[in-house]
Chains A and B, each alone.
Chain A
Amino acid sequence: MAGVLRFHTAGYNGYAIEYSPFFENRIACASAANFGIVGNGRLWCLGINTAAAAAAGPAGGGGGITADRVYDTQDGLYDCAWSEEHENQIVTSSGDGSIKLWDVTLSDFPIRNWSEHTREVFSVNWNLVNKDAFITGSWDQTIKLWKPEAPQSLMTWQEHTHCIYQTVWSPASGETFASASGDQTAKIWDVRQRASASTIHAHNAEVLALDWNKYNPNVIVTGSVDHSIKTWDVRFPSRETRVLLGHEYAVRRVKCSPHSGDVVVSASYDMTMRVWDTAAASPMVHVHDLHSEFVLGVDMSMFFEGQVATCAWDEQVTVSHVPALGHKKR
């Protein structure tokens, strides 16, 4: 794939972007009108047409990404997560506290709707191991566990003392997840326990983002309003293992590469997405400056090493090949 593919999420500001775990050319973008302040949300199911992309040549441009399906919601959508057990299903989280499950073979309306959270739900994440469950994290300071067929949440955790911005399952354990909060901490949880397993005072500012290393089950990465990204060994929560500096404003999202234990990508209010090699002396290996507003979503293809998708408040989705993402083998 050459060049940069773009898609205009017209009228909607991107908040999250996620590759399908089943179809290599399918991505979803959760978005909100009016910057998420007021108004509708939209879930975009996008197809990446690599043939059209190749025909367009290195300049990239139109035709490479098509909207296969769009779903409109009353309130802004802040996150989405594809089902790990059903190739056609995806769950969204919304500013009105609702969680909706969609079947992308159907039009217009969700197949499930849950309304338990009392504030904005900024995070939803599907369990990578026990593939019948997902978790949500909300500004109501709670984390909830859900199963698609269950009419109510199965569990609620309340321990954070500020908005929860992200909740992410461990790729290695179906019982373990982590959460990032405005209370400046990240917490590690076991679904069988009511209290968190550990608390990391991760930053002296709000922690907006978090992910698990896919190749080292004890390592997490956090991103913060303090501009920094930190890597942690969760067994030693008192001190980070590395600080990654370079973003000029708050770090809104971090993700660990599905292909390498050393590669991390981050999206920031500084309008860039950056690629980091946490094992390198100079860790910042790429700056992706394809956006003209806050970059809120980033994801890496599991099927095409080096392919990365971003979404931003400039109403642009980009899909591009970043060599720095692929150069590193575990």
Chain B
Amino acid sequence: MSVNSGTAASSPPASSSLPSSSSQTNNASPAAADAVFAKFAAYDWAADQHFQAGLRSILPPPPPSSSDSDATAPSPPPAAAAIEQAKFFYFSKFVHPIDKERYLEWKASSSSSHTSTDASSLSTADSAPSQVPPAPPPPPSSSSSAKTESATNGDFSPSGAAAGTVTTTTTQSSTNLGGDAHYPRSFQEICEMVARGDEVPGIRQIPDKLNDAPPSASALGPRKKPWEKA
């Protein structure tokens, strides 16, 4: 009945499992993290049409929400801050979850040896993280969920993306899903399609209209809640 594997333990984890799981998500494979940071550093933003299109949609009229005021508060020009924010959001959502603070730390401390070597091994690091339990499906990562959710503040959400939940398959190659023909496309595949601007198949146009028929009349009174009976 249960097909859970890996971290979805059915036995109650001791409190000691908390540090270990967080270390797994945060620190376990520094090499992989470095690879992600290097990939971000080397990312060709100018060539990414979808990013550029999204950027045009949020600039030059800055978003009206409060994150706008956040962006104008610090010293860098608002546009630069917004673009940086958008980059982190976009990268987290469509390439790989990335923690802005840790990236900045990494960038500040990284020597030149980091970037070139790690960048070359990006693709394998992405698809074969050493500490992630076997899929399918892969375990979620709350730390990366958090990043995605935080990143939503960047007001750069091309398509009503799911809340923060969506990083589950970012470390997984889609072939892992091969066992079940009915299993949907992986999260990463969908993200990549959206990022490329591909049309995701199967989206239907639902008429935006109200029901012509009159609503039903209520015939029942409310039932008491269990806590109201006591």
Which residues of A line the B interface, CB within 8 A? 4, 10-11, 13, 21-22, 32-40, 72-76, 78, 84-89, 94-96, 103, 105-106, 108-113, 118-120, 122, 128, 131, 139-141, 161-163, 165, 171, 182, 205-206, 208, 214-215, 225-227, 245-246, 248-250, 252, 258-259, 269-272, 282, 284, 287, 289-294, 296, 302, 305, 313-315, 330
Contacts and interface: CB of A to CB of B under 8 A. Distances in A.
B76 interface: no
Given A37-B190, A225-B145, A292-B4, A163 B152 contact: yes
B171 to A, nearest CB: 14
Contact of A330 (B21, B213, B222, B230): B230
30 contacts: A10-B182, A33-B203, A36-B161, A38-B200, A72-B206, A86-B218, A87-B219, A105-B216, A108-B211, A109-B212, A111-B210, A111-B215, A122-B163, A131-B222, A163-B149, A165-B163, A171-B227, A208-B149, A214-B225, A248-B18, A249-B21, A250-B164, A269-B141, A269-B142, A287-B9, A289-B4, A289-B8, A290-B2, A302-B223, A330-B230
Contacts of A249: 7, 21, 139-142, 145
A329 B187 CA distance: 42
A47 B204 CA distance: 26
Interface string B158-193: 011111111010000000000000101101001101
Contact of B162 (A36, A110, A162, A171): A36
Contact of A302 (B10, B17, B225): B225
Contacts of B162: 32, 35-37, 76, 95
A225 B226 contact: no
Nearest to B162: A36
Given A37-B190, A38-B203, A112-B210, A205 B8 contact: no
B206 A284 contact: no
A269 B12 contact: no
A75 to B, nearest CB: 5
Contacts of B191: 37
Interface of B: 1-4, 7-13, 15, 17-18, 21-22, 65-66, 136-137, 139-142, 145-146, 149-150, 152-153, 157, 159-166, 168, 182, 184-185, 187, 190-191, 193-194, 200, 202-213, 215-216, 218-220, 222-223, 225-227, 230
B215 A109 contact: no
Given A37-B194, A163-B153, A171-B225, A313 B165 contact: yes
Contact of A290 (B1, B7, B15, B157): B1
Nearest to A36: B162
Given A34-B200, A109-B209, A271 B184 contact: no
Contact of A259 (B12, B164, B226): B226
Nearest to A88: B216
B227 A22 contact: no
Contacts of B193: 38
Nearest to A20: B223
Given A37-B159, A225-B146, A248-B21, A11 B184 contact: yes
Contact of A39 (B21, B146, B203, B227): B203
Identify which of A105, A112, A226, A289 gathers the most chain B CB atoms within 10 Å of its CB: A289
Contact of A38 (B21, B152, B160, B163): B160
A87 B152 CA distance: 36
A131 B7 CA distance: 42
A225 B149 contact: yes
A89 B159 CA distance: 28
B215 A103 contact: yes
Contacts of B160: 36-38, 75-76, 94-96, 120
A291 B190 CA distance: 21
Contact of B222 (A85, A171, A225): A85
